[in-house]
Structure 1
Amino acid sequence: MAIAGIHNHHYWQDNPHWRFIFISLVVWLWLVLPSFVTEVSHHTTHSHTTDSAFNSHLLRIWHWQLMVLAMMLPLMSSALRFVVYALPRYRRERSIFSFLLGYLFIWSLAGVVVELFDGLMLHTVFFTDFYRQLLGAVGFLAAGLWCFSYHRRKAMLSCGIGMPLRINGWRAYLDCIHYGLKMGLRCLSSCWHIMAALVIAGHSLILMAIFTVLLIYERACLPAETKVLSYICILMSLLLTLKFLWFSI
């Protein structure tokens, strides 16, 4: 029993991506709780009626962070394994934390920009849920076309590139933060269009789940071998356009 316990302990240390997949699942459970979904939907959809614009901006930024944890952490399996295998075992936990610190910092900055822009749209006089469908259609069309671009394929391929990491001293943790920043920029350059389209379309949990599965599938197959994500984005744009036209009649 003791040997089995030690073996299991080493397995979780050598495969840290499973714990972050578990964290991602916990975030998904949190998002789908009816009371939480109702609260987010109420504040996100009707934030122009609240007394505090600052609080509504914070709520949207918080929801962006949850989107990143739910959708992006499963895509970081290879990077996390790289950090684990490149460093001594006694440094692994702090190294993983340092990596995630840099990675989430990039996505946090992007979230502030995207959510403030979305908040400004919500506060315009002419903006309604009716026009959000049209903007969502435009966003998904742009995302689908961007998926075909050379720059996006290059960004996707760069997500699997590591970097030299020092194994001694406090500079080892700085290297992990640096690697997290680089991976955050690479991941942002390859997935920003999907995240932005989801925000513009209204933070739909169903769409988030669909595109999380598609991003994982694409990461496994590489963008050079599959165009499913591009086609689904264009299809989603068509569906939202038809929905807009149907209700505008």
Structure 2
Amino acid sequence: MPVKTLVAALRDLPWPLRCASLLGWLGLIALERQLAAPGYCGVWVPSRPGGGWEALLGALWLNPPTLLLPSWLLMLLAMMSPLLADPLRLLWLRSLARKRAQILALFLGGYALVWLAAGLPLHLLGLALLTFSPAPWLAFAAACAAAWLWQTSSLRRHCLQACHRQARLPAFGWPAATAALRYGFAAGGWCVASCGIWMLPPLLAGPGHLPLMAAIGLWLLLERRRPDIPPPAQALAAPLRPAGRH
């Protein structure tokens, strides 16, 4: 049962990752309360959607990437921490005790850098959808449709499976450090490729972006725990296949 699997996944999370995720959610809630006008990712919505390039430039001026950096970092902490249990456990077991903190820090640094780099194009895409759409709900619907189409693709399935690849991790010297950093880059890259598009709908969900982020985070955790779950389109089509054909 998916619910039992999800409960087991949450229960089995190491306590540091639970605390990190909780701190991220508390930070997002605190940041939400400090904002005067909830809207684009809790920041701002163009007063006249569909305004074209001038509206987009105005949106970029009012919402520079640096303004969203704190919320993006908190989002990473809240949503991505539970997804890192397996790679961090692997690094913990395959690293020397005296070098363990350094190895973990290098991995997390590489992982976070990839997600930070992905935040800028997602930010620009979200603002573009919002400013060129006739209505905010159309921008949100377009983002959900794009995420769903990617969710059902075989290429996305390949990216999800790549998230479970275990890297070769030397135990000594610079090879251990560089391998941990490369592992962080690779894990972050495959994670962005598989689920980065799901960060777009919350950017356009207005005041409801936090509950939507929580729902997406739980679904992503369930997927990581059960990578054998077929894409929704394949699951719906399975009963329609003739017997004996796969």
| Same-fold call, TM cutoff 0.5 | yes
> Does 2:161 correspond to 1:157?
yes
Equivalent position of 2:216 in the other structure: 211
> 2:64, 2:145 → 1: CA distance?
28
> Does 2:58 correspond to 1:53?
no
> 1:214, 1:55 → 2: CA distance?
29
> Does 2:84 correspond to 1:76?
yes
> 1:30, 1:194 → 2: CA distance?
20
Report the secondary structure of 1:41's partner residue: coil
> Does 2:38 correspond to 1:41?
yes
Equivalent position of 1:4 in the other structure: none
Equivalent position of 1:91 in the other structure: 99
Query: What TM-score, normalized to structure 2?
Result: 0.74
Higher-helix-fraction structure: 1
> 2:82, 2:229 → 1: CA distance?
20
> 2:139, 2:59 → 1: CA distance?
26
CA RMSD in angstroms, aligned pairs only: 3.1
> 2:16, 2:165 → 1: CA distance?
22
Q: Which amino acid aligns with 2:66?
A: L
Change (3 A) 1:113 1:51: closer
* Unmatched runs of 5 consecutive residues or more in structure 1: 1-14, 232-249
Equivalent position of 2:20 in the other structure: 23
For residues 125-140 of structure 1, the aligned pairs below 5 Å read 131-140=135-144
The answer to which structure, 1 or 2, has the higher relative contact order (CA under 8 A, 6+ apart) is 2
Query: What TM-score, normalized to structure 1?
Result: 0.73
> 1:46, 1:116 → 2: CA distance?
13
Matched pairs, number: 212
Q: CA deviation at 1:223?
A: 4.8
Change (3 A) 1:160 1:52: closer
Mean CA deviation greater in 186-195 or 108-117: 108-117
